[in-house]
Amino acid sequence: MKFFIDTANLKDIQEAVELGVLDGVTTNPSLMAKEGIKGTDAVMAHYKQICELVDGDVSAEVIATDYEGIIREGEALAELHPNIVVKVPMIRDGVKAIRYFTDKGIKTNCTLIFSAGQALLAAKAGATYVSPFVGRLDDIGADGMQLIQQIVDIFSNYGYPTQVLAASVRHIPHLIQCAELGADVVTCPLNVITGLLNHPLTDKGLATFLADHKKVNS
Ligand code: G3P
């Protein structure tokens, strides 16, 4: 399973890179706004910086919601760096644009996926990734993990090359369940990735090993 970090924060991205487990980055307009990045030039420069930090796919989302606008923005993003994946919302013109980008060899991530039908449509249009939002489904009392299972099964039934990128992954049980279900990628904040390091028995065991070593070596 690939690990992507879901942030536009350069420090967090760098920390995940240094851990040696990072396969890519996802961003969205909210995450860019959180970093105070505004204006086209600043946004483009920030995406370029992210791409230079990470050896892997970097999803950069279009703002336009009409076909021509999505194509214009997506092509400009794709020209920035070979790591860029154009992130397109699951709307009618978005699906049309995904077909266009796919035919031109530009990678895409279809975002805001909340149903198996939406994922199937994006896969039919040739999306590189679909992003079902697990946490946001849980927020409304639905079962985000059930959607991951459905999409993994459907793509496997037909051998679709589209990868299931589980997004809105908020905590470790989410991440582990995605792994059990066979999601191709999870994207989550840094604290979920580093949280995987922790177990109290590891801390306790290490303390004992070091204390025993010290007893005979001091
Ligand atoms: O990649 C989508 C993700 O950023 C959404 O996460 O926690 O805002 O639902 P969240």
pLDDT given at position 130? 98
Q: Return the bridge partners of 191, or none.
A: none
Q: How many residues does the chain have?
A: 218
Q: How many domains does the chain have?
A: 1
pLDDT band at 182 (very low <50, low <70, confident <90, very high): very high
pLDDT band at 136 (very low <50, low <70, confident <90, very high): very high
Q: Which domain holds residue 161?
A: 2-216
- The enclosing domain of 155 has a CATH number of 3.20.20.70
Pick from 111, 114, 136, 147 the residue to mutate for probing ligand 1's pocket: most ligand atoms within 8 Å of its CB. 136
| 11-47 per-position pLDDT tens digit | 999 999 999 999 999 999 999 999 999 999 999 999 9
For atom 9 of ligand 1, which residue has the closest CA? 168
Give how far Cα 97 sits from Cα of 24, 38, 136, 145, 211, Å: 23, 25, 25, 28, 61
Across the chain, mean pLDDT equals 98
Q: Which residues form ligand 1's pocket by a CB distance below 6 Å?
A: 6, 26, 28, 131, 133, 135-136, 167-168, 170, 187
Task: Please give the share of the chain, as a percent, with pLDDT higher than 90.
Answer: 100
Two tokens, residue 136: 């946001």
pLDDT given at position 106? 98
Burial of residue 2 (number of CB atoms within 10 Å: 0-12, 13-18, 19+): middle
pLDDT given at position 189? 98
